[in-house]
Structure 1
């Protein structure tokens, strides 16, 4: 019994296993990172996508090695991080990668190649960074069957400065020999066949079988692309009822070239007295400009040779003539403060281009005779052919020509053929005269039929040239709303035809209006709107023409269109703008929003368009864009912008205009093999800006970027931005103090207004300078004044305004000190500088009439003589002698109304001396000069205080008796003793003489 149960269980198990086996393969496919084949096919795997960034990995086998390519988008972070990766085989042994030099991987990353080192074979980002980075890393390894790919981000620790791992992840990868991408990834969407309601009607595709499924080849697309294609197919089936088939084969997508991206090579700058390139070269003239050196960033050789400016390119996709494109930017100072800025961009032909099939569709209607439009078309086609012929890839180009007008008139076709076989025939195909109407819908269909004949893997392009509205179309049967159209502008017609009766041509020949082509010749033809069953009017031929264009675009054929001197269509009640909108709906609008439509307002612009279009189709710089913001410290010189062709092969004319909001934008650049342009303009240093700092390095521009392909507007690379500086000046200021009274106590800190002017302008004040000093010195001065203040107040005074040498026009500034704004009371300031620039001033204390106050002192002991004397003052402007009043304590003053004036000489006479003192032998002379300087005879010192001339008058005692206890007493004693001795001696001598007698 148990045995039967187990048999039953095993039967169920094997039944389930058999059911699940088909899904096992799918499950295994989901686990395998990338399946590699041995035929050189490339496969892409998305890696991480987190807060540190995201990355994808692709690789292919080639002989005995694997060629890898990793695209890394590193996100900005607060702290500098470093990206690294490594590979190990099945035995956990490190695999040493070899970095490619073609895309500068060796400049941005380094490999630890010594086996003795800890991180042997790991690949590190050379410089940690905290800004957004985009890297394209190419490298190779020996061929192995399986390996583990490890990625990581690390950062320096705050404490130890050692590298700390922030994120790491490993990816097991199997390298298989068989091609699994073709064997198991085909996905098909089908549905029941729709039957046509009208045997004579056809889909726009010109096939009468609506049930035929359309195949979309995704090549090596990733899962996101496949999912997107599924959704598009579902949407298209809902709209058209045509089954859609999606395959993922090994074929290369026709759009693969447009997806080529370039890892930015970010220029390196340092912040030291401003910002300038870490490595730089200088123009020979004056060293005021530092330029980025291009690919040899890090070398110092550039500083020795300014002529290298012509080679300072940053190259992408190779070097020299083999680079996909190269960019350069440098500047030089041509006159004081005036800088010429140059941006050079060099293009090339696409080196690994998918073969291209091109059909020229040219309007041969009667209106093309006007303004020699046909002649310009013929000339333009000749240039178009010559450009392709000189590209070096003409063997990969097929080309044909549809010339069209209307039924019954000249309509001719050159079938799609090898370029080299048919190039001369196409040059000569355009007629000299034309006639008829404009049946654009049929011409587009004929061109697409040529493109669909063969080579489904080729890129398909239609170039349409027309000067007017379509005046004929097929009769529409079904329409859809324009919002459901792919790769089409939404402005213009509301509907586009999805089904027409190709056996019935309608149109009036001179307008797009279809009025009168309704039932019984009335009103407009009718059509069914989608699956609604609602009937709508089809008012003009644009509806079917745009419908044909949309069907072509859905088959991945690009339509590039030129509207030549278009006009309004009054018969269809369409304005000029209405016509333009509908012409734009015919052209392709790419997934990235690029509209392949242009307008020629002059017939002469046709040739330029065709020449430019040829370059755009085959070149590495296709619809490129430059964004060049003028630096904050610089002003653009009006009308100085120009663009010149400087390569071996001339470029077509490039449209440009002066910058808007200080940003130069150059669009639709197409540069191929041997072509190079130079964008040139002038800027001036904004030295008059309040934030200007002399000798500081200012970037001449903001971040200057270049997007080489209009289909990838976010894939931008950076130009190296030059930096420039401008000098400033230093001022000096001197103040001489002149004080008649010799009293400096009234001095204070001074403020001077600073002004400037040029040779051709009047001066104006711009700030203030403070001057202070020591009162013991008669001269205050400052030198090397490089900054001034915006205020003249002690509480807010701060010297922040620099002094540039010249103004925004390069004219030298002449600086001057215009006035002293806070002179001390009773001082008069005066500019005594030689050239009147106020660099030297004199402050003279203002003289006021003086009172006089004298004090009597003892000439010997300097003590005050508190005994009354009498004095009189005479001379000068006095009417007569005036007596002093005694105020006690030796002080004498004049009446309040008696004042001494400058320019006068007065005499002080002592009438009577204090008791016991000798009177002055002569009057004292008091002389006051015109400048207020005072001198008093006998060199008597004086002071002026509170407007009083104050000095002391000494008197000598009459009899100089010795003072008690003084040394004079001993002299008296000595004299007395001497006299006594002499007298006694004389007495004895006399008596002796008498006795002898």
Structure 2
């Protein structure tokens, strides 16, 4: 008897050990074989550099290694660190390891207990860089230590200051399980799971921090996760546990990806991709290159045509290459041919089937009640199941899938089951299993129980999933005998029912047409015959305080069955089809929805596996989506694509299409003008790809717009492939675009009738765009043309000032508006008012300032034509124009003659000045001097005897010279000079006589 008991006990020990080992493989951290593997934890990665720590538990000590890399772009720093035993608060004195590493020579341990630095490991000299060094040391075995690490800065002769300092609690546990050690560390605090803990204890322990299980992820993914954990710990203060295991109990749902970060350049020309390509024929858009299979470099393709049907170029691939990639993403833009400033944006997302999926058991649980005939819901179910099966069949992993089907209504009506079996055996049966006609009530609780019984009989290491479809409230349930608070239900929403059934009798109860139990019948489980009627609500024992509470409806027991299923590790995915209110139960449609949601699984990451179909046609889509969601690499994926600040979304341009593999299009909403495009619940499997397309226009009308500057079309655009890992986002490459500017010219013409330019000054002009004032432009004497001082000109002006004061040319001139229409710029108004000038617009870019005419006076200077000396004694009279009579000019007495003060000359008139008397000994002008003042005030004079009159108009006075020639004097009769006249006359007679004699002889032939 004792031997049997001993054997029985031994068997149970083996079973428990096997179960514990399975639990460890699925739920704990890194399984480290003693003396062979190390656990590594990220310490920091910042502007000072980066560091991590490794530790390995040995028989009687712990081996430690700090990996340190200083950045050489900071001032000199000194690295120090120390360890403290958390349990007894004692300083741990490390022992440095001497090997071929240089770190032992660089650091020293402070061993003097009398100093405050006792136990610290200190870098002997400050340094600007330590490149990938390893600091190795040992400590006694402890369960939990506090590591403090600091970088002290030192410049010149100043004392050292702490530049960076942080403490890291680290928990170490050595557990002997089949000669292996399980170690799990966290940032901030630690979660340690021993193989001896029960499942409930392990669950409780693991919730003390945020756990990220990386499965068999590659090193790049692990490094990225460490950095993300460090960041998250700093933000939340919650412990961040990073674990890895050979087998992930959640299968593909636990896989994370290291983000392949696009790289950008920001300089004077804007922000744009560092590794880029430009669509053929485009000049105003630039896109980020792709990366094949997570390679070490970008693809190097710098140009292609940007055809949206191209499914080869510029993808960033994750988890493999080309068709083997887990998923691939691409984003690019190209210029529209329809309008300037319009850009087409394309995002492609391609999925795949999970390569290393945990074998999965699926039970379809489908409502066959009479209401499923409405709107041919049962017909849509048949279509949906057909698509569901076809998707699984084409996945390439159907050999890892078992499937079954529970069709249910109410006792005595149509209820049937296909037992769980390999997919290939069930495939055709499931396609034809759904009836053409439905009938009866809704006994959801029993259907869920039957499905779970099927799953419980399957392999223990398979993932278990129930897919539930129902169009109404449960109208039957088992009678609850005890209930618990919904707050204690795992993976269940709390909003809805307050209690769930913890235990039930085998008695079937219900009204048959409502979930209400305010008066109910009992039913036979064999044939569904109605039994006794009970007038009141049933009651059940509340386990928390042993009181009895009223059970208001069939949801209590149905949710209770769902909770038991979830506690067993099965996921429940459910679809509520056109759900209405339950009037008899006093439940609105929203309250019904909340209770249906309580049946579904709420995952640890907060994802609720519940959806609604407001139309019967949504049933088929749900099935197709669910199949992909279960086996695809993109499961409940999400795209976040914010519109860039310099761009406007074109209303109603968003469209999503399947470009490969009949991918299902998720529901989406139209974004705001400057909003964000959010695509949720994206499911993509093998060979499936969607394309998101929309248009944006560059906002050239923004006051901060700069022509020919690269602006990013979007903000950071991310893709989350798995809804269960909402923080595991990867980046699309973000394209940039630009738009040209234009210039404006300004010409200022000056016209002074008096040629006096002293009244000129700097001028401000109003600049208008499409007849709307937008700014100010200045022109100054610095802009005077070299060949014409009467023209100021500014050409090809790119910027104007926003205001007159302060004047600062900062406003650029875009070529076109937000709709792609060319702007029309004009100099619309002269803002500076000049005294004595009149401003006139010649054209959109030319203005003329004409000096305002002032009636003129006249000043004539009488001069000797030979010597230039002033002559007195002349008289001048002016007439014509608007003068009523001839008027003598007044002599000043020095040879100048002016108009009387009460007389002026006006524009548009012609005057004549006649010399009435000349100075003695001088000849008088024969003709009058004509003075013409035209309509602009310009003055001209004419007289054939005045070749150089020196005409000027200054200070409103017309001034010119009248030179006079002296008269030739004749000698007196009998004077001494008469002989000269006689001599000259005689000589003239001789010359003339000789000439005539000579001609006479020649005419007669005399030689």
Q: Which residue of 816, 828, 838 corresponds with 1:806?
A: 816
* Matching residue of 2:940: 935
> Within 5 A, what are the aligned runs for 1:512-591?
512-517=515-520, 521-591=534-604
Q: Give aligned pairs, total.
A: 808
SS of residue paired to 1:674: coil
Q: Which residue of 352, 361, 365 corresponds with 1:361?
A: 365
* Matching residue of 1:134: none
> Within 5 A, what are the aligned runs for 1:529-678?
529-647=542-660, 649-660=661-672, 662-678=675-691
Q: In structure 2, what is the Cα distance between the partners aligned to 1:696 and 1:157?
A: 41
For the 8 Å contact 1:44–1:56, the answer to whether it is kept is no
For the 8 Å contact 1:471–1:511, the answer to whether it is kept is yes
Q: Which residue of 193, 196, 212 corresponds with 1:187?
A: 196
For the 8 Å contact 2:174–2:181, the answer to whether it is kept is no
Deviations 1:438-476 (A, max 9, x none): 111111111112212232221111100000000011112
Deviation at 1:312, TM superposition (A): 0.4
Deviation at 1:221, TM superposition (A): 7.9
> Within 5 A, what are the aligned runs for 1:423-442?
423-442=427-446
Q: Which residue of 486, 491, 497 corresponds with 1:493?
A: 497
* Matching residue of 2:956: 947
For the 8 Å contact 2:319–2:327, the answer to whether it is kept is yes
Q: In structure 1, what is the Cα distance between the partners aligned to 2:797 and 2:244?
A: 76
* Matching residue of 1:284: 280
Deviation at 1:770, TM superposition (A): 1.7
CA pair 798-249 structure 1, distance change in 2 beyond 3 A: closer
For the 8 Å contact 1:621–1:672, the answer to whether it is kept is yes
Deviation at 1:120, TM superposition (A): 9.9
* Matching residue of 2:320: 318
Deviation at 1:819, TM superposition (A): 3.1
For the 8 Å contact 1:636–1:683, the answer to whether it is kept is yes
CA pair 917-156 structure 1, distance change in 2 beyond 3 A: farther
Q: Which residue of 888, 901, 922 corresponds with 1:883?
A: 888
SS of residue paired to 1:311: coil
Deviation at 1:218, TM superposition (A): 7.6
For the 8 Å contact 1:926–1:934, the answer to whether it is kept is yes
For the 8 Å contact 1:339–1:682, the answer to whether it is kept is yes
Deviations 1:226-284 (A, max 9, x none): 999xxxxxxxxxxxxxxxxxxx9989453253221111111011113011100111111
> Within 5 A, what are the aligned runs for 1:79-98?
92=99
Q: In structure 1, what is the Cα distance between the partners aligned to 2:666 and 2:55?
A: 39
Q: Which moved more, 1:422-431 or 1:892-901?
A: 892-901
Q: Which moved more, 1:434-443 or 1:935-944?
A: 935-944
Deviation at 1:878, TM superposition (A): 1.4
Is 1:265 paired with 2:277? no
Q: Which residue of 406, 412, 427 corresponds with 1:402?
A: 406
> Within 5 A, what are the aligned runs for 1:674-685?
674-685=687-698
* Matching residue of 2:466: 462
CA pair 156-670 structure 1, distance change in 2 beyond 3 A: farther
SS of residue paired to 2:405: strand
For the 8 Å contact 2:404–2:421, the answer to whether it is kept is yes
CA pair 697-463 structure 1, distance change in 2 beyond 3 A: same
> Within 5 A, what are the aligned runs for 1:30-49?
35-37=31-33, 46-48=41-43
Deviation at 1:621, TM superposition (A): 0.7
Deviation at 1:393, TM superposition (A): 1.0
* Matching residue of 2:110: none
Instruction: Give TM-score scaled by structure 2 length.
Output: 0.72
Q: In structure 2, what is the Cα distance between the partners aligned to 1:261 and 1:437?
A: 44
Deviation at 1:845, TM superposition (A): 2.8
SS of residue paired to 1:368: helix
Deviation at 1:58, TM superposition (A): 11
Instruction: Give TM-score scaled by structure 1 length.
Output: 0.73
Q: In structure 2, what is the Cα distance between the partners aligned to 1:334 and 1:820?
A: 40
Q: In structure 1, what is the Cα distance between the partners aligned to 2:475 and 2:266?
A: 65
Q: In structure 2, what is the Cα distance between the partners aligned to 1:815 and 1:459?
A: 69
For the 8 Å contact 1:347–1:675, the answer to whether it is kept is yes
CA pair 176-670 structure 1, distance change in 2 beyond 3 A: same
* Matching residue of 2:346: 342
SS of residue paired to 1:778: strand
Q: Which runs of 5+ in 1 are unaligned?
A: 1-28, 61-69, 82-88, 96-117, 124-149, 190-213, 229-247, 758-762, 961-974, 980-997
Q: In structure 2, what is the Cα distance between the partners aligned to 1:387 and 1:520?
A: 47
Is 1:827 paired with 2:827? no
Deviations 1:918-974 (A, max 9, x none): 6656543322223322123424224334433244555677899xxxxxxxxxxxxxx
CA pair 49-483 structure 1, distance change in 2 beyond 3 A: farther
* Matching residue of 1:815: 825
Deviations 1:300-351 (A, max 9, x none): 8423544696410111112111111111001110131111100000111111
Q: In structure 2, what is the Cα distance between the partners aligned to 1:221 and 1:349?
A: 30
* Matching residue of 2:907: 902
SS of residue paired to 1:443: helix
Deviation at 1:880, TM superposition (A): 1.2
Is 1:505 paired with 2:508? yes
Q: In structure 1, what is the Cα distance between the partners aligned to 2:777 and 2:446?
A: 83
Is 1:846 paired with 2:849? no
Is 1:255 paired with 2:250? yes
* Matching residue of 2:775: 767
Deviations 1:684-722 (A, max 9, x none): 111111111111111111110011111111111110011
> Within 5 A, what are the aligned runs for 1:371-390?
371-390=375-394
Q: Which runs of 5+ in 2 are unaligned?
A: 1-23, 57-65, 78-95, 103-128, 135-146, 157-161, 184-192, 214-242, 522-531, 970-975, 981-1007
* Matching residue of 1:444: 448
> Within 5 A, what are the aligned runs for 1:45-64?
46-48=41-43
Q: In structure 1, what is the Cα distance between the partners aligned to 2:519 and 2:457?
A: 37
For the 8 Å contact 2:177–2:195, the answer to whether it is kept is no
For the 8 Å contact 1:734–1:839, the answer to whether it is kept is yes
SS of residue paired to 1:550: helix
* Matching residue of 1:964: none
CA pair 549-174 structure 1, distance change in 2 beyond 3 A: closer
Deviation at 1:669, TM superposition (A): 0.5
CA pair 611-520 structure 1, distance change in 2 beyond 3 A: closer
> Within 5 A, what are the aligned runs for 1:865-876?
870-876=875-881
Deviation at 1:176, TM superposition (A): 11
Deviation at 1:371, TM superposition (A): 1.3
CA pair 57-289 structure 1, distance change in 2 beyond 3 A: farther
For the 8 Å contact 1:752–1:817, the answer to whether it is kept is yes
Q: In structure 2, what is the Cα distance between the partners aligned to 1:389 and 1:544?
A: 36
Deviation at 1:723, TM superposition (A): 0.7
Q: Which residue of 726, 734, 743 corresponds with 2:756?
A: 743
SS of residue paired to 1:684: strand
CA pair 439-823 structure 1, distance change in 2 beyond 3 A: same
SS of residue paired to 2:796: strand
For the 8 Å contact 2:815–2:822, the answer to whether it is kept is yes
Deviation at 1:868, TM superposition (A): 6.4
RMSD: 4.5
Q: In structure 2, what is the Cα distance between the partners aligned to 1:530 and 1:222?
A: 25
Q: Which residue of 481, 484, 509 corresponds with 2:485?
A: 481
Deviations 1:128-186 (A, max 9, x none): xxxxxxxxxxxxxxxxxxxxxx9999999999xxxx99899999999999542599933
